[in-house]
Structure 1
Amino acid sequence: MKNLNQILCGAIVATIAASPSVGAAELGISDDNYSLEALIEAAKKEPPIIVVDATGKIKTMAANFTKLYGIKATGVKLGGQKQELILKREAAAGNVTHDVFNMSNLPSITSQILPTGVGTSWMPPDLTDTTPEAYQNPAITSLNPWVWAYNTEVYGDKCPVSNIWQLTDPEWSGRVSIPDPLLRNETMFWFNQLETHNDDAMREAYREHFGKDLPADVQSATNEWVKRFAKNGPNVTRKDSEVGPIIGTPGLKDPHFGFLSTSIFRKKYGYAMGICGGMKPFAGQLTPRVAVIASGTDSPNAAKLFVHFMMRGEGMEPQLIDGKIATNVNTSMPADEGSGVANYVDQLHVTDSTTTDQDFSKLQDWQDLWTIYSR
């Protein structure tokens, strides 16, 4: 078992910078008078809360919270875009029924949710010593790995792809499965992050694969890769749970390569899959997950207590078996986590939150590019 410090080795902390300040001064008890005991006492006087995440594990998290504090919490599984819609609609109607969200679309959060006051980020004052500063503003509960993966039954311990540009070659035409990027904004945000911060690495990967420089007239290396990859006919699914069997079902003769979350590596599925370690320039991405409190909640202290529960790591434990990495440095990865992502974290791309506003503003551009070249 490894804790966060051992896994991250300092590489991630340096690249996720603090986003614009998002205070919670009017939410529940003041931080000036804060203590965990005072927060618990105040929370017990409030109505039950509804907590939301994109994984069904939120139901277990809510039950654990209720058992620990005697404060009723109900977990609801909702996808990222539905979460945003509910936050906005309930705020506009002045009828907040969903209190806490663990959200993955950081650019949307920092560009829309927090600045408009629809949601609030709160960092527990007593957990700043165990949470790297880069994850405190907004309060990032965990990092969700998405990885390039292959069939280990067919290819053994050597991934058949060593360079992202191979996925634009005829050899892999129609043989790469990914969740539809038009249904997963995090993929489009990733494209913009790569272009903004890592285009030189994408350009170097092109040179390594093709043995020549990228043509000078391309808009960017990342833009060119997206075009070529989309034109190469990837197999697009609705979600990553549909990618897993196409890659890893035992007995496949010509399995696909693919992109999916580490949760699909869970042993219960029985897939023969491995992370494509050493793939240039990245073996996947790490997406931050942010604790957001609905600003109009009737249970602000109970909501803050649930954020505290997640930020101290204990609350996130049901999700760690899926490969998610808690940001609290005292939290360990389970020994039986299925993907082994702890061994590849330094090969995963990390969101730089100093430019998430650009990711959001350019979302439509990337969606249009993908739509045009995937036809």
Structure 2
Amino acid sequence: MSRHISGTPRRRFGHHRLLTAALVAGTLGAAAACAPSGPDPASGTESAGAVKPVIDTKFDLDKLVTAAKKEGSVTVYDSTGDITKTAAAFTKKYGIKATGVKSKVGETLEKMTRENQSGNVTIDVTNYEDGPSLVGQLLAEKTVYTYIPGPVAQDLPPSGQNPLQVLSKGNLWVYNPELFPGGCPVHSMWDLTEPKWKGKVALQDPLSKPNIVEFFNQLKSGGDQQLRQAYQDTFHKALPDGDSAGEAWVKGLAKNSPILTSSDDDAAAAVAAPNQKKPRIALVSNAKFRDVKDKGYHMRVCTGLRPWAGYQYPKYSAIATKAEHPNAAKLFVHFMLTQEGIDTQLDTGGVPGNPELSTGTFMPAGLTDWDKQLLVFDPSKLRDDFENLQPMQDLWRLNHG
């Protein structure tokens, strides 16, 4: 079932075939009761690349709520401001004070690492969008652990369990339909490397936006064939054998003097602000589509852009190993896997990690199918993406003027 269907459960992800033995243990048998002390994920002997999730086979929601209420509060860090709405809904439902804090991925990584080392932990849960550093650092170093409520585990695809994927969002190529009433002015990602678009492509600086670098690595590892075909279709000649299509595209974009911004807000404004008269293309989060209503922005997804109109980036949920409120943290993760919880983050679109939940009713203008129009990250490449982070950043640095 495709994800463009709204209001109905999705029985299975379109990309379930993307499984990994490296990240998903064949037997996810670790279990934890809902006792206030919780499991001891730091006591395991797994290697850094094979840390197993804790599946709570004795899950009892009533007991968990009681234990969480005794703890009294929970603090959750997320890279989107939507976390404040999720926290408010959680507090309203359970009577437990939840504090949602918007924080960039790098800042969350640094803070959670420092807190774990000092033992003074203030972050209980993170909704975290950089899978490579989650797998390569936070999980590998046992700063956090993956917790899965037993009753939900059977509904989750193996590829979404380790780490636990609670949501997918999108970074989308967008244009201003007021300036281009005939539709998106580019038809191929390779057009963005051409002189015509020099200095006219806006995106958040990849060196400060981890999932953009992951996008570059995913292009290299899993998108080569389609990107290579798009090159053939665009330039009517084959990309030289031996060349990485992903690396060639990254080099081309970097050399074309893109407008690098410090935030998606600035990238969206560079294209879609009401007074914007300059013809540009931008790569922005689907969350920016709220500005169409709130700020009068003119923005539409580049429908038909080959090979993809953007990419899906997963958001994962993990609990601090030394969390001060371990049971409230578990309850919050459970809440993120329910319709009531995930709906608080779907007002600008997205795909729930629990395939039994509906995708909501909103779809960014020009996007009709999350799977077919967007590159879907392969979770089996998270470890490779972590190892290739620095080389890809260096490739960008060397080629960006």
**Shorter-chain TM-score range:** over 0.9
CA distance in 2, matches of 1:153, 1:274: 10
Q: Deviations over 1:163-185 (max 9, x none)?
A: 11101111100111111001111
* Structure 1 letter corresponding to 2:259: N
What displacement does 1:270 show?
Answer: 1.6
Instruction: Calculate the TM-score normalised by the size of structure 2.
Output: 0.87
- Counterpart of 1:278 (choices 304, 307, 315) is 304
1:329 maps to 355
CA distance in 1, matches of 2:220, 2:77: 32
CA distance in 2, matches of 1:353, 1:153: 38
Q: Deviations over 1:269-328 (max 9, x none)?
A: 221111112111111111110111000012211110000000113212221012222223
**Structure 1 residue 358 and structure 2 residue 384: aligned?**
yes
**Structure 1 residue 239 and structure 2 residue 263: aligned?**
yes
What displacement does 1:23 show?
Answer: 7.8
What displacement does 1:339 show?
Answer: 3.8
CA distance in 2, matches of 1:110, 1:128: 20
1:259 maps to 283
CA distance in 2, matches of 1:72, 1:328: 25
Q: Which piece of structure 1 moves more, 231-240 or 208-217?
A: 208-217
CA distance in 2, matches of 1:334, 1:82: 30
**Structure 1 residue 33 and structure 2 residue 37: aligned?**
no
1:150 maps to 175
2:187 maps to 162
- Counterpart of 1:226 (choices 250, 253, 263) is 250
CA distance in 2, matches of 1:96, 1:26: 21
User: Cα distance 1:20–1:202, how it changes in 2: closer, same or farther (>3 A)?
Assistant: same
Could you say which structure has the higher helix fraction? 1
The percent of aligned pairs where both chains have the same amino acid is 37
Task: Trace 1:11-160 onto structure 2 (pairs within 5 A).
Answer: 11-15=14-18, 17=20, 19-21=23-25, 25=31, 28-29=34-35, 31-156=56-181, 158-160=183-185
CA distance in 1, matches of 2:357, 2:316: 17
CA distance in 1, matches of 2:31, 2:322: 13
CA distance in 2, matches of 1:255, 1:371: 26
What displacement does 1:28 show?
Answer: 4.5
Kept in 1: contact 2:34–2:63 (CA 8 A): no
| Unaligned residue ranges in structure 1 (runs of 5+) | none
Aligned length: 373
CA distance in 2, matches of 1:151, 1:182: 26
What displacement does 1:14 show?
Answer: 2.7
**Structure 1 residue 313 and structure 2 residue 339: aligned?**
yes
2:53 maps to none
CA distance in 1, matches of 2:158, 2:383: 20
* Structure 1 letter corresponding to 2:400: S
Q: Deviations over 1:349-368 (max 9, x none)?
A: 11111121111111111111
What displacement does 1:231 show?
Answer: 0.6
* Structure 1 letter corresponding to 2:200: R
What displacement does 1:192 show?
Answer: 1.0
1:194 maps to 219
CA distance in 2, matches of 1:25, 1:73: 26
Kept in 1: contact 2:312–2:370 (CA 8 A): no
* Structure 2 letter corresponding to 1:248: A
SS of the residue corresponding to residue 126 of structure 2 reads strand
Over the residues paired in the alignment, what is the CA RMSD in angstroms? 2.2
What displacement does 1:16 show?
Answer: 5.5
Q: Deviations over 1:124-163 (max 9, x none)?
A: 1112344344322221110011111111112225211111
| Unaligned residue ranges in structure 2 (runs of 5+) | 40-55
Instruction: Calculate the TM-score normalised by the size of structure 1.
Output: 0.93
User: Cα distance 1:344–1:119, how it changes in 2: closer, same or farther (>3 A)?
Assistant: closer
